[in-house]
């Protein structure tokens, strides 16, 4: 599609000279010239034709001069249309006024047509760059809107409510997820398997962004689907692992923790698929990790024999689960927040509500990083046994 150039001059000879000079470009459909004999006619054309790229305008013309035309073009709020003024040699006052009113460049009479071609091509290059920038911005805005929608969808598939399971009086639950990007690969979930058993999990998909978010949804759905049948924790992870190993892209895997708590007896059965250790805070505020259990990330090696552990929670005991966006958060010197700082925070806020405990940990991480952009997704899940 040719560049459309509007020539505005009350001397018809100028248009003919320009068309003669650029006849090759016209034949090759590179340039298309349109003419107007004064600013008023030019403004009418510009208002009706939104395909004009460049305006070549004289300054001194009847009915509406070039300076007034420049002002009108500016009022049209078109950042794409560029104007080059044509003025008599030495008419610097008008040229300065024209530049102040938005002219991109100027040429002087008598016209040097080599200089005119250089000026036209330089101006059209700027127009092209601005169009590309505008298109890129529009695409960015569209993508951003889609990511915002994706973020809302992702958050909507996580358990909602405060408290999230108000009908279950034997436990308290609170969770917090803060993606590093609009969407992320962290997830958590909790659900009643039957009247006595609560299933809960946390996970972290390798990578960030949209691919991780999609795989996160697949993994979370698979865990809940299999776990809802009452499957043992390690058997659940074996089945999920084999499903993900078959379906997952190369080098994508998931670390996860899954626990089954009998809310009547306090017996907790759990399995860990290469995830961070889960902290156990007893009613007196002592902080330890749950006994370790063998496991590798889900989707990594088919038919891996996951182990399981069983412990019994006492009244007032709290479990704290988290993803590595917490302990691996770095400050400006690239020091990690570390498990030690996390343990200190858990000790400091052990008596707080679960919501306050989660928020306090996040605040400690943000304080440690000193306002640096979050480099990884952060998720925490707290559970308190209160029969």
pLDDT band with cut points at 50, 70 and 90 for residue 151: low
What is the C-alpha separation between 54 and 73, in angstroms, rounded? 11
Report the pLDDT value the prediction gives residue 296, as an integer from 0 to 100: 95
What is the C-alpha separation between 197 and 89, in angstroms, rounded? 90
pLDDT band with cut points at 50, 70 and 90 for residue 343: very high
Whether residue 375 contacts residue 330, with contact meaning beta carbons closer than 8 Å, is answered with: yes
What b-and-e string marks burial along 43-54, b requiring 16 or more CB atoms within 10 Å of the CB? beebeeeeebbb
Query: What are the φ and ψ backbone dihedral angles of 161, each rounded to 5 degrees?
Result: 100, 155
Structure tokens that stand for 261 in this block: 């708590």
Task: Read off the pLDDT of each residue in 141-168 and give the average, rounded to a whole number.
Answer: 72
Q: Is the pLDDT confidence value at 186 over 80?
A: yes
What is the C-alpha separation between 125 and 134, in angstroms, rounded? 14
Structure tokens that stand for 6 in this block: 């509007």
Residue 284: helix, strand or coil by DSSP? Answer: coil
Report the pLDDT value the prediction gives residue 312, as an integer from 0 to 100: 98
Burial of 369 (0-12, 13-18, 19+ CB in 10 A): middle
Tens-place pLDDT, residues 222-276: 999 999 999 999 999 999 999 988 876 667 899 999 999 999 999 999 999 999 9
Structure tokens that stand for 207 in this block: 């990578």
How far apart, in Å, are the Cα atoms of 350 and each of 85, 240, 281, 323, 367? 73, 33, 7, 19, 19
> What is Dmax (Cα atoms) for the chain?
99
pLDDT band with cut points at 50, 70 and 90 for residue 213: confident
pLDDT band with cut points at 50, 70 and 90 for residue 145: confident
Q: Is the pLDDT confidence value at 209 over 80?
A: no
Least confident of 14-28, 155-169, 222-236, 363-377: 155-169
Task: Read off the pLDDT of each residue in 49-68 and give the average, rounded to a whole number.
Answer: 90
Angle between helical axes of 66-75 and 39-48 (0-180°, round to 10): 20
Report the pLDDT value the prediction gives residue 311, as an integer from 0 to 100: 98
Report the pLDDT value the prediction gives residue 223, as an integer from 0 to 100: 95
Cis ω on the peptide bond leading into residue 163 (within 30° of 0)?
yes
Report the pLDDT value the prediction gives residue 188, as an integer from 0 to 100: 94
Report the pLDDT value the prediction gives residue 274, as an integer from 0 to 100: 96
Report the pLDDT value the prediction gives residue 79, as an integer from 0 to 100: 61
Q: Looking at the domain covering 159-385, what would its CATH class be?
A: alpha beta
Tens-place pLDDT, residues 282-327: 999 999 999 999 899 999 889 999 999 999 999 999 999 999 999 9
CA 125 to chain centre: 31
Task: Read off the pLDDT of each residue in 158-184 and give the average, rounded to a whole number.
Answer: 82
Instruction: Find the DSSP H helices in 28-180.
Output: 39-48, 66-75, 92-100, 113-156
Whether residue 78 contacts residue 101, with contact meaning beta carbons closer than 8 Å, is answered with: no
Q: Residue 175 pairs with which residues in a beta bridge?
A: 381
Over pLDDT 90: what percentage of the chain? 61
Q: Is the pLDDT confidence value at 143 over 80?
A: no
What is the C-alpha separation between 82 and 52, in angstroms, rounded? 9
Average pLDDT value for the chain: 89
The total of other beta-carbon atoms located within 10 Å of residue 195's CB is: 8
Task: Read off the pLDDT of each residue in 78-86 and give the average, rounded to a whole number.
Answer: 82
How far apart, in Å, are the Cα atoms of 79 and each of 91, 95, 133, 317? 26, 20, 11, 64
What are the boundaries of each domain within the chain? 3-136, 159-385
Report the pLDDT value the prediction gives residue 158, as an integer from 0 to 100: 77
Task: Read off the pLDDT of each residue in 371-377 and give the average, rounded to a whole number.
Answer: 85
Residues 3-136: name the CATH superfamily. Response regulator (3.40.50.2300)
Residue 270, CA atoms < 13 Å, CB-side half-sphere: 29
The total of other beta-carbon atoms located within 10 Å of residue 144's CB is: 11
What is the C-alpha separation between 284 and 287, in angstroms, rounded? 9
pLDDT band with cut points at 50, 70 and 90 for residue 185: confident
How far apart, in Å, are the Cα atoms of 266 and each of 263, 332, 344, 387? 5, 43, 26, 8
């Amino acid at each position: 599609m040719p560049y459309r150039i509007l020539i505005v001059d009350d001397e018809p000879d100028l248009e003919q000279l320009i068309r003669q000079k650029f006849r090759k470009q016209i034949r090759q459909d590179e340039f298309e010239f349109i003419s107007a004999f004064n600013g008023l006619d030019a403004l009418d054309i510009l208002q009706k034709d939104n395909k004009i790229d460049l305006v070549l305008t004289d300054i001194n013309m009847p009915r509406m001069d070039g300076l007034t035309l420049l002002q009108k073009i500016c009022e049209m709020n078109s950042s794409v249309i560029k104007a080059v003024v044509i003025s008599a040699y030495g008419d610097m006052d008008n040229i300065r006024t024209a530049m102040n009113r938005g002219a991109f460049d100027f040429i002087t009479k008598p016209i040097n047509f080599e200089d005119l071609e250089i000026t036209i091509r330089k101006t059209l290059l700027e127009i092209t760059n601005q169009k590309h920038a505008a298109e890129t911005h529009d695409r960015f805005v569209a993508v951003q809107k889609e990511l915002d929608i994706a973020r809302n969808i992702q958050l909507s598939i996580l358990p909602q409510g405060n408290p999230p399971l108000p009908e279950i009086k034997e436990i308290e639950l609170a969770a917090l997820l803060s993606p590093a990007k609009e969407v992320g690969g962290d997830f958590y979930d909790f659900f009643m398997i039957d009247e006595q058993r609560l299933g809960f999990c946390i996970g972290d998909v390798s990578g960030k962004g949209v691919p991780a978010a999609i795989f996160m949804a697949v993994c979370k759905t698979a865990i809940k689907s299999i776990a809802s049948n009452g499957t043992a924790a390690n058997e659940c992870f074996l089945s999920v692992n084999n499903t993900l190993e078959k379906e997952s892209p190369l080098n994508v895997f998931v670390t996860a923790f899954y626990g089954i708590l009998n809310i009547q007896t306090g017996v907790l059965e759990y399995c860990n698929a290469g995830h961070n250790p889960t902290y156990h805070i007893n009613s007196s505020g002592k902080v330890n990790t749950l006994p370790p259990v063998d496991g590798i990330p889900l989707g990594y090696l088919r038919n891996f024999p996951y182990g399981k552990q069983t412990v019994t929670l006492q009244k007032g005991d709290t479990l704290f689960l988290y993803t590595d966006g917490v302990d691996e958060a770095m400050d400006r010197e690239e020091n990690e927040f570390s498990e030690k700082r996390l343990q200190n925070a858990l000790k400091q806020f052990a008596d707080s509500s679960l919501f306050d405990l989660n928020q306090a940990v996040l605040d400690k991480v943000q304080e440690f990083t000193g306002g640096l952009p979050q480099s990884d997704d952060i998720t925490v899940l707290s559970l308190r046994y209160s029969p």
